[in-house]
Amino acid sequence: MQSLSVCVYCGARPGSDPAYMEAATALGTALAGAGMRLVYGAGDVGLMGAVARAAQAAGGQTFGVIPTHLMAWEVGKRDLTTFVVTETMHERKKVMFMNAEAVVVLPGGAGSLDEFFEVLTWRQLGLHDKPIYLLDINGYWQPLLALIDHVIAQGFADASLTSYIDAVPDLPALMARLSDQADQADQPG
């Protein structure tokens, strides 16, 4: 199986539901177990830290990207397989995205939403065809999906916008999709 690199956007905080940290830990472990590389924001706090520590503990490859101004705030995790420091947030997002074949969005705040909407917009504009998965832990992303439906209903986006988002209810469903993608990448031609 080809090694798939998966960009994970997620909160720099743990969130109020323990299921979020559990999902981040399980995701890191599952990615490593499947031979997939974690690409993420290089922080060692919140869900970010949980997913990275779990991937490392399971022997996985980790690729972290952090801007200089967040090194202290997000506690830059220097013991990653690859640790990249950028000057700006824009550079961080670009390097993360360019080094992955798929995007997974765990629960998070404004930063995670910014990252999600940027890659969704790029997909809508035809700038990439990478899958975008929302890991919908305990229905976390349901209000976002309702907002996107509202945007479409109000005429600000085509109904095709929803086809660029794959909301998955749990980790087994996500890993099945990522494994399928890795298998397809292995096919000749």
CA atoms within 13 A on the CB side of 61: 14
DSSP state of 134: E
β-pairing, 165-168 vs 132-135, is: parallel
CB 74 within 8 A of CB 44: yes
Q: Could you identify the residue written with the tokens 């890795």?
A: 182
Average pLDDT over residues 15-37: 98
User: What separation in angstroms does the CA of 136 have from each of 109, 125, 139, 165, 188?
Assistant: 14, 25, 5, 12, 33
Q: Could you identify the residue written with the tokens 């922080």?
A: 43
Render pLDDT for 68-90 as a digit per residue (tens, 0 to 9).
Answer: 998 888 888 899 999 999 999 99
CA angle 146, 152, 108 (to 5 degrees): 40
Task: Give 51: exposed, middle or buried? Use CB within 10 Å, 0-12, 13-18, 19+.
Answer: buried
Render pLDDT for 86-132 as a digit per residue (tens, 0 to 9).
Answer: 999 999 999 999 999 999 999 999 999 999 999 999 999 999 999 99
Confidence of residue 189 (pLDDT cuts 50, 70, 90): low
Give the chain's domains with CATH numbers.
Answer: 5-181 (3.40.50.450)
